[in-house]
Amino acid sequence: MITPDVFRDLMEKQSTLILDLRPTSDFITGFVPGSISAGTSGKYDKWIIEAIGGEPVVLISEPGKEEIAADRFSKLVHSESLLVLAGGYESWVKFARQADMIIEVEADELALDLPHDPYLQLIDLRGEVEFENAHVTKAQHIPLAELVDLATIANFDEDQQFYLYCGGGQRSVLAASLIKRQGVHNLRVVAGGFDAIQQEPSIPLTQKQDHSG
């Protein structure tokens, strides 16, 4: 367990992987700059550790769940490199008064912006099969796994407004945190992902043609 002042010194002196284990709904409203949203499910824990790397690993959990957070990563990270921020995100804000956030938009807001914003670039983060089956017309396909390649983010045009969507929402928040970690902040995530987009009839979709029969 480390205090906010020790945490700050770590971030300044060495490459530190900061993982926020709070619900994505909490993460988007405020998080430690540079941290990655790992969510509550643990579904992407192994991928994050292996694909991104960095030591030490500092965990930010909900207050009172610090031991649970440490146990969640005990098999993925050497114990001497695994640290937990005492008091979580709230303690950091009180200490440093510094935070970042992610803008979330509803599918109906996306529908309004699509035809009128020439700088809007929609990014589909889902897998190949998901994308081929159906996607928003003119969306750019960048699977989540490709965002660990810094060259991918380096190619983002700073004049564009990036709207991210996945299947249900978690991958887009994780992706947004990866992109923001590299200094790109002109982005939004679509609440509910493609599941919500499909319910908005005015958003044009491209669907896989069924040639059977």
**Predicted confidence band of residue 53 (pLDDT cuts 50, 70, 90):** confident
Q: How many structural domains comprise the chain?
A: 2
3-state SS class at 72: helix
Q: Are 172 and 203 in the same domain?
A: yes
| C-alpha pair distances (Å), 130 with each of 82, 139, 206 | 35, 13, 12
Q: Which of 43, 71, 96 is the last residue of a domain?
A: 96
Q: Are 112 and 149 in the same domain?
A: yes
Q: Are 154 and 200 in the same domain?
A: yes
Does any domain span residue 153?
yes
- Per-residue pLDDT of 63-104, as tens digits, reads 899 999 999 999 999 988 999 999 999 999 999 999 999 999
Q: Beta strands 82-84 and 57-60: pairing type? A: parallel
Inter-residue contact 40 to 22 (CB < 8 Å) = yes
Q: pLDDT at residue 213 above 80? A: no
Q: Which of 73, 96, 119 is the last residue of a domain?
A: 96
Q: pLDDT at residue 211 above 70? A: no
Does any domain span residue 212?
no
Q: Which domain holds residue 114?
A: 103-207
Contacts of residue 45, defined as CB under 8 A and 6 or more positions apart, other chains included, come to: 38, 72, 73, 76
Q: Kindly report the length of the chain.
A: 213
Contacts of residue 138, defined as CB under 8 A and 6 or more positions apart, other chains included, come to: 122, 204
Q: Are 36 and 125 in the same domain?
A: no
Q: Are 37 and 133 in the same domain?
A: no
- Per-residue pLDDT of 153-188, as tens digits, reads 988 988 899 999 999 878 999 999 999 999 999 999
Q: pLDDT at residue 13 above 90? A: no
Q: Tell me the sheet residues that pair with 141.
A: 124
Q: Are 129 and 63 in the same domain?
A: no
- pLDDT computed for residue 15 by the predictor: 81
Q: Are 80 and 127 in the same domain?
A: no
Q: What is the pTM (predicted TM-score) of this model? A: 0.92
3-state helix vs strand vs coil in the chain, percent to 5: 40, 20, 40
- Per-residue pLDDT of 119-154, as tens digits, reads 999 999 999 999 999 999 999 999 999 998 888 998
Q: Are 107 and 203 in the same domain?
A: yes
Q: Which H or E run includes 157? A: none
Residue 162's CB is within 10 A of a number of other CB atoms, namely: 22
Mean pLDDT of all residues in 21-38: 96
Query: Token digits for 99?
Result: 């935070």
Q: Are 45 and 66 in the same domain?
A: yes
Q: Are 34 and 73 in the same domain?
A: yes
Does any domain span residue 157?
yes
Does any domain span residue 199?
yes
Give the domain CATH number at 12.
3.40.250.10
Q: Which of 96, 127, 148 is the last residue of a domain?
A: 96
Mean pLDDT of all residues in 40-49: 93
Contacts of residue 27, defined as CB under 8 A and 6 or more positions apart, other chains included, come to: 20, 37, 39, 102, 173, 177
